[in-house]
Chains A and B, each alone.
Chain A
């Protein structure tokens, strides 16, 4: 099992450019999440999904969009990147509404917006 994978690992964008981050999990998890991690701010939830075809806003959703067309994939899009979106992005997945709902995290994507 690969667990949770993320592509790309690193990316540099110019202000106004767009990009999509891909998260994939092979554990048949229902729930998937996108977080950003910034120094001193901990993990902040951007968007999440409780199942295929569903998405919901987290704590800091502005400037991001997501899609969950397949159960195993969760895409995070930046339509017009801004320097404030420079961060490390982590995807996670979990079983969801069960006693096994600890999260499994991907390796992260380091994004720099210049």
Chain B
């Protein structure tokens, strides 16, 4: 079974700091990769996704992620965080050759101090 690891459970940053959240998955074949964001009190929404092509994916609000197949990783980055980026971030992976049911990581809680 697929597994997804998010190594940083809690991250605290000051505004303007750079952000990198780790995501590693276990499946060795073709994968679809997602990052979702959940702002306080809200539901999850898609931040960005990777299906194929350019391994550097740009999403909303200045976020980007890089797919490194050899490292089974899909790390999320933002060069300069804002207070409004305070949220929980979830990485998800699915196997397009299989059931298409995604596996989620446990999430990373990001707090940005103004």
Contacts and interface: CB of A to CB of B under 8 A. Distances in A.
Interface of A: 31, 33, 40-43, 45, 48, 50, 58, 90, 92, 94, 96-97, 99, 101-108
Interface residues of B, number: 23
Contacts of B96: 97, 99, 101
B45 A43 contact: no
A33 B97 CA distance: 19
Given A45-B101, A106-B43, A101 B106 contact: no
A90 B44 contact: yes
A106 B45 CA distance: 9
Interface of B: 9, 32, 34, 36, 42-46, 49, 51, 90, 92, 94, 96, 99-102, 104-107
Given A42-B90, A43-B90, A108-B43, A103 B107 contact: no
Nearest to B6: A42
Nearest to A31: B100
A102 B5 CA distance: 19
A101 B92 CA distance: 12
Contacts of B51: 99
Contacts of A92: 44
A102 B42 contact: no
Contacts of B49: 102
A105 B44 contact: yes
